[in-house]
A = this chain, B = another copy of it.
Amino acid sequence: MSAALPSTVRGLLAGARERGVLLFGLTPPRRSASPEQVEEIARVTLARLTPLDVDALVLYDIDDESDRNPDERPFPYLPTMDPAVFHAEHLTGWHRPTVIYRCVGKYRDSELRDWLEATDPDRVATVFVGASSGSKLVHTVLSRAHALRRDTRPELALGGVAIPERHTRGGDEHLRLLAKQERGCGFFVTQVVYDVDATKSLVSDYHYTCRERGIEPQPIVFTLSVCGSLKTLSFLKWLGVAVPRWLENALRHAEDPLTESYEQCLANARELAAFCRRLGVPFGFNVESVSIRKVEIDASVALVGRLRPLLPG
């Protein structure tokens, strides 16, 4: 299969439309890591990823979201390396495209502009993420970041985040996707999905509104993440991921929550794939491990192997 994997962002985007893409999401090392530790992490990461059948790597940009949620964060917030630096300096052995997230509120206008101008649009796509709450003080708001990219680097492929839970609350997340699409977003990546019903509702509203307006739906990449412990479960919930009550019960009572959540992720992927095919909405999957425990990362890698057959081509 590796022969068909994209070496450029152009190939990645074409793949996303034609056959569905498979991504793997990673958080860069902590900023406190020594250069040797970072090298070792990069080495292990590449060893893990290279044999995997993924189309692109996703590197997150971690922001302190404690403003969004007053509850105690189950895992402490630790500043992480700039994903662009980790990519440019340590992942040179990765020859497929990389999607670099940008929490745009963290950056001044000029910082974002410099990064946009320095970034190779053949190898890198980006996803801009807005502020985690309305009250947060930010350097750059999302719409300004979109305008910056359009004015300085329109050839850099841009994606947006999609949050099904926001659709459950307000019923208008599909309109937010359409607004982002108008401002240049060519694909969407969801937050971690455990609430399939909410996700299907978002996709459905997006599909029918695109049809009404006579525009093409852009690929939606569903993020899946196994959950190997109750601590990871509370972290997912802290992050704003809705976990249906029955599934939370199943994980809490499972002898092996990791296997339970792995099977559930697969079942969810099957259901979302069938749903998108039926509507004709292009889709893909992104596997992310929200924890850094080895068993959870191993299960994430195993999950990737099971997802490719669910993609269209």
Residues of A at the B interface (CB closer than 8 Å) are: 167, 171, 195-197, 200-201, 203-205, 208, 244-246, 249-250, 253, 275
CB distance A245 to B208 under 8 Å?
no
Contacts of A253 in B (CB 8 A): 208
A171-B245, A245-B171 given as contacts; is B204 within 8 A of A250 (CB)?
Answer: yes
A45 to B171, CA, bound (A): 42
CB distance A197 to B249 under 8 Å?
no
> What is the minimal beta-carbon distance from A127 to any residue of chain B, in angstroms?
25
CB distance B244 to A200 under 8 Å?
yes
Contacts of A204 in B (CB 8 A): 245-246, 249-250
Contacts of A244 in B (CB 8 A): 197, 200-201
CB distance B208 to A249 under 8 Å?
yes
> What is the minimal beta-carbon distance from A213 to any residue of chain B, in angstroms?
15
Task: Please state the number of chain copies in the assembly.
Answer: 2
Max chain B C-beta neighbours (<10 A), residue from A197, A203, A246: A246
CB distance A203 to B275 under 8 Å?
no
Contacts of A249 in B (CB 8 A): 201, 204-205, 208
A250 to B208, CA, bound (A): 10
Contacts of A171 in B (CB 8 A): 245
Contacts of A195 in B (CB 8 A): 197
A208-B253, A253-B208 given as contacts; is B275 within 8 A of A201 (CB)?
Answer: no
Contacts of A200 in B (CB 8 A): 244, 246
> What is the minimal beta-carbon distance from A221 to any residue of chain B, in angstroms?
18
Please name the residue on chain B nearest to A208 by beta carbon.
Answer: B249
> What is the minimal beta-carbon distance from A260 to any residue of chain B, in angstroms?
11
A203 to B253, CA, bound (A): 14
> What is the minimal beta-carbon distance from A67 to any residue of chain B, in angstroms?
27
Extra pairs beyond A196-B197, A204-B249 (9, CB < 8 Å): A167-B245, A201-B245, A201-B249, A203-B246, A204-B246, A205-B245, A208-B249, A208-B253, A246-B275
